């Protein structure tokens, strides 16, 4: 077994379904917006759509399984996340060895084994938790508590998007109380903290002081009540895209099936009025195409890899760069998924996308109403969207249209425009997200014009309030028959993950239609574990298992 400097937990099974299941089903009207349409009530509790499949297929829910069984169950966090692999790849050039734990809840036995092995060999590794998918400290606290059962003296570090978001409107000193409460030793809070992480590990290895490392907060020892708390200087770093050599095939990735994620860009050149990403990422940073190709070659050297999910937020913009990428992709044999600004797609681009292996794309449509698109500063029209999707459909590229409902200016009429758009465009999948009001977004500047007040998920403006949205989502969910609903919290990754697990797109559509039909009946108050759709799901799963095995 190898000795590691860092064990990095990329993801964990973070939604507490049991919390929802403990609520009285008879009063579901009071909390329906939290559970529908994203969950199904099955065998005495609320379940994720994937866990319904686990129970029907294996007669066990994910939470009831041993770690090994969990690794073989369906769970969105079993899909290899990017941050852990990326950090391992970056650190390897400095001789720093990282063990990536992709999904803590499926791999904690392996974490314990690797940690103890290194500890018994005389060097306890630092244990990093990625907070990228967290929206509070709850999950950090849970993990830290469990990790300290392995070793109360473990050194725990937190980094990732949530740690960074905590410093946007607040001072880094605000970490102190949370670090003491959650028993965390270090937080690296930069948006691009790779260099700081390298410095932290090297300084610690040499027993040197940490005060010169940027963007770090730390407690001087494991006495969490009394230890001295320190904050170092904050400094912006550009992303390390062009400073990350392609060492992918040198990293141990036992959790990998066929799909891996990568990015070629950080940031975004648009400035949609509801989005904070351009301000947090500070502009668009790109990887040189030559280096992208080297990364691709190394990734495809990993024999198992057949599919890549590209994480670039606007993968096809700038258009010429995208054309260059497609030319490179066509030289290699793999399939891919990505985000796409569909208004920049013409016949030739769609053909090249298909020929280079594109299976499906996430379309940030946000709204199909020209009035709302204008308010959102999306710089696109409904007609542009329809035109682009026509090209995708011609070449059999599937798409998932993502909509944000309730943006200032939204009315019953503009919501109905989304309904007709989903039907007309023929997008295979759709998701709805409610507008989320953040202060560090352009819409905040226009709050007086829109009469916008409140914050986060609780807002009000001249034409709507947040409470109006969930009933509309349910109405639309019931009405849409031509396209398949996917939970916004899993979105394109749900499709890509099931595809990774051997399901064809048509099988995913059939399965999801059955799940949605159960949800539909539950919303009407009809609950039964003997719903005929569960039988049909069982038959579908049987077919898939047969062809996946052959
Ligand atoms: C892929 C993705 C998903 C997938 C993940 C599937 C999978 N198995 O990988 C799915 C669709 C499941 C998902 C779900 C959610 N997501 Co999401 N997702 C993303 C996305 C597009 C990419 C994440 C990524 O890999 N980024 C690339 C890596 C490099 O960036 P990073 O993780 O931030 O890491 C960098 C640093 O932070 C740091 N770092 C990361 N981890 C660590 C750890 C340590 C110790 C250190 C030192 C450093 C470090 O290193 C990286 C260097 O650049 C991002 C948007 C984006 N472009 O980042 C949103 C994003 C992470 N998601 C977000 C959110 C809010 C969610 C949800 C909570 C809700 C939602 N609907 O969006 C849910 C999750 C919970 C739930 N209820 O199920 C937010 C997070 C905001 C935050 N935490 O403050 C983001 C940033 C999008 C956004 N702007 O709103 N997501
Ligand atoms: S919504 Fe997407 S395209 Fe718009 S600013 Fe945010 S990341 Fe960029």
Cα 295 off chain centre by: 22
Per-residue pLDDT tens over the stretch 324-362: 999 999 999 999 999 999 999 999 999 999 999 999 999
CA dist 471 and 480 (Å) reads 14
Q: pLDDT band for position 304 (50/70/90)? A: very high
CA dist 215 and 230 (Å) reads 11
Per-residue pLDDT tens over the stretch 89-147: 999 999 999 999 999 999 999 999 999 999 999 889 999 999 999 999 999 999 999 99
**Ligand 2: centre distance to CA 347 (Å):** 24
273 and 294 in a single domain? The answer is yes
**Is 241 within the bounds of a domain?**
no
440 and 532 in a single domain? The answer is no
Q: pLDDT band for position 548 (50/70/90)? A: low
**Ligand 2: centre distance to CA 275 (Å):** 6
The pLDDT, as a whole number, for residue 1 is 76
545 and 494 in a single domain? The answer is no
Nearest in space to 86 (alpha carbons), one of 202, 236, 240: 240
Closest ligand 2 atom to residue 276 Cα is: 6
Of the two residues 13 and 269, the one the predictor is more confident about is 13
331 and 354 in a single domain? The answer is yes
- What is the DSSP-derived secondary structure letter of residue 160? S
The pLDDT, as a whole number, for residue 269 is 85
Of the two residues 549 and 290, the one the predictor is more confident about is 290
Q: Which residues are within 8 A (CB) of 466 and not within 5 positions of it... i.e. 6 or more apart?
A: 406, 434, 435, 454, 457, 458, 459, 460
Q: pLDDT band for position 546 (50/70/90)? A: low
Instruction: Tell me the mean pLDDT in the region 453-467.
Output: 96
Instruction: Tell me the mean pLDDT in the region 3-9.
Output: 95
Nearest in space to 471 (alpha carbons), one of 29, 61, 58, 88: 29
Is the CB of 188 within 6 Å of ligand 1? Answer: yes
pLDDT at 547 over 90: no
Q: pLDDT band for position 3 (50/70/90)? A: confident
Ligand that lies nearest to the alpha carbon of residue 497, given by its number in the listed order: 1
Q: pLDDT band for position 249 (50/70/90)? A: confident
CA dist 197 and 206 (Å) reads 14
pLDDT at 550 over 60: no
**Ligand 1: centre distance to CA 223 (Å):** 31
pTM: 0.97
**Is 460 within the bounds of a domain?**
yes
Residue of 133, 197, 203, 490 to test ligand 1 pocket, by largest number of atoms within 8 Å of CB: 133
Which residue range is the domain that position 322 belongs to? Answer: 256-501
**Is 409 within the bounds of a domain?**
yes
pLDDT at 549 over 80: no
531 and 427 in a single domain? The answer is no
**Is 403 within the bounds of a domain?**
yes
**Is 506 within the bounds of a domain?**
no
Ligand that lies nearest to the alpha carbon of residue 380, given by its number in the listed order: 2
Nearest Cα residue to atom 7 of ligand 1 = 81
pLDDT at 545 over 80: no
Is the CB of 335 within 6 Å of ligand 1? Answer: no
At 224 the three-state DSSP class reads coil
Per-residue pLDDT tens over the stretch 59-69: 999 999 999 99
The pLDDT, as a whole number, for residue 542 is 84
| 161: Cα within 13 Å, side-chain hemisphere | 13
294 and 427 in a single domain? The answer is yes
CA dist 365 and 421 (Å) reads 10
Phi (first) and psi of residue 113, to 5 degrees: -65, -45
Q: pLDDT band for position 242 (50/70/90)? A: very high
**Is 525 within the bounds of a domain?**
yes
**Ligand 1: centre distance to CA 289 (Å):** 24
CA 548, 296, 330: angle at the middle one, nearest 5? 80
Q: What is the CATH number of the domain that holds 357?
A: 3.20.20.70
**Is 430 within the bounds of a domain?**
yes
372 and 520 in a single domain? The answer is no
Nearest Cα residue to atom 62 of ligand 1 = 133
Count of structural domains, the chain: 2
Nearest Cα residue to atom 4 of ligand 2 = 272
**Is 366 within the bounds of a domain?**
yes
Contact predicate 57/498, CB 8 Å: no
Nearest in space to 131 (alpha carbons), one of 112, 149, 153, 104: 104
Q: Is the four-CA dihedral 420, 421, 425, 426 of positive or negative sign?
A: negative
520 and 415 in a single domain? The answer is no
Contact predicate 273/446, CB 8 Å: yes
446 and 543 in a single domain? The answer is no
364 and 480 in a single domain? The answer is yes
366 and 460 in a single domain? The answer is yes
Q: pLDDT band for position 169 (50/70/90)? A: confident
User: Which region among 167-171, 345-349, 360-364, 459-463 has the lowest average model confidence (pLDDT)?
Assistant: 167-171
Nearest Cα residue to atom 35 of ligand 1 = 160
Instruction: Tell me the mean pLDDT in the region 217-221.
Output: 96
Here the tokens at position 122 are 């005389």
371 and 520 in a single domain? The answer is no
Average pLDDT along the chain:
96
pLDDT at 2 over 90: no
Residue 140: in which H helix or E strand, if any?
A: helix 138-150
């Amino acid at each position: 077994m190898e000795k590691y400097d860092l064990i990095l937990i990329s993801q964990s099974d973070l939604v507490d379904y049991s919390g929802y299941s403990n609520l009285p089903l008879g009063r579901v009207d009071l909390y329906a917006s939290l559970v529908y349409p994203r969950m199904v009530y099955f065998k005495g509790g609320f379940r994720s759509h994937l866990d319904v499949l686990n129970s029907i297929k294996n007669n066990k829910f994910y939470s009831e399984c041993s770690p090994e069984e969990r690794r073989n169950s369906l769970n969105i966090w079993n899909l290899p996340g990017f941050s852990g692999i990326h950090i391992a790849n970056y650190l390897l050039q400095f001789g720093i060895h990282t063990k990536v734990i992709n999904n803590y809840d499926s791999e904690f036995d392996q974490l314990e084994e690797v940690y103890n092995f290194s500890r018994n060999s005389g060097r306890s590794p630092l244990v990093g938790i990625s907070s990228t998918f967290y929206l509070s400290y709850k999950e950090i606290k849970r993990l830290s508590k469990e990790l300290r059962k392995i070793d109360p003296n473990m050194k725990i570090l937190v980094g990732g998007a949530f740690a960074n978001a905590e410093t946007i409107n607040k001072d880094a000193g605000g970490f102190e109380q949370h670090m003491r409460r959650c028993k965390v030793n270090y937080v690296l809070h930069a948006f691009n903290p790779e260099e700081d992480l390298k410095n932290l590990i090297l300084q610690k290895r040499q027993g040197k002081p940490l005060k010169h490392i940027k963007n770090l907060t730390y407690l001087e020892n494991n006495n969490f009540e009394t230890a001295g708390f320190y904050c170092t200087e904050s400094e912006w770093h550009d992303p390390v895209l062009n400073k990350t050599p392609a060492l992918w095939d040198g990293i141990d990735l036992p959790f990998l099936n066929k799909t891996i994620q990568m990015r070629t860009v950080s940031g975004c050149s648009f400035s949609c009025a509801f989005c904070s990403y351009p301000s947090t990422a500070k502009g668009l940073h790109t990887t040189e195409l030559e280096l992208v190709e080297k990364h691709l070659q190394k990734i495809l050297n990993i024999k198992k890899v057949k599919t890549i999910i590209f994480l670039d937020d606007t993968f096809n913009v700038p258009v010429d760069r995208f054309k260059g990428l497609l030319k490179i992709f066509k030289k290699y044999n793999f399939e891919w998924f990505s985000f796409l600004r569909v208004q920049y797609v013409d016949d030739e681009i769609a053909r090249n996308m298909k020929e280079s292996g594109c299976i499906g794309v996430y379309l940030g449509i946000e709204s199909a109403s020209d009035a709302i698109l204008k308010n959102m500063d999306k710089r696109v029209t409904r007609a542009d969207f329809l035109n682009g999707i026509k090209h995708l459909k011609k070449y059999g590229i599937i798409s998932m249209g993502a909509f944000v409902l309730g943006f200032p200016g939204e009315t019953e009429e503009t919501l109905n425009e989304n309904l007709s758009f989903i039907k007309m465009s023929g997008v295979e999948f759709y998701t709805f997200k409610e507008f989320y009001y953040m202060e560090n977004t352009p819409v905040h500047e226009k709050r007086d014009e829109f009469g916008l007040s409140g914050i986060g998920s609780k807002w009000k403006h001249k034409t709507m309030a947040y409470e109006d949205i969930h009933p509309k989502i349910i109405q639309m969910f019931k009405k849409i028959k031509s396209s398949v609903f996917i939970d916004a919290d899993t979105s394109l990754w749900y499709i890509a993950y099931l595809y990774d697990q051997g399901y064809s797109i048509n099988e995913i559509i059939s399965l999801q239609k059955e799940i949605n039909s159960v949800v539909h009946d539950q919303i009407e108050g009809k609950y039964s574990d003997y719903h005929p759709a569960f039988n049909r799901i069982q038959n579908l799963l049987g077919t898939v298992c047969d062809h996946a095995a052959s």
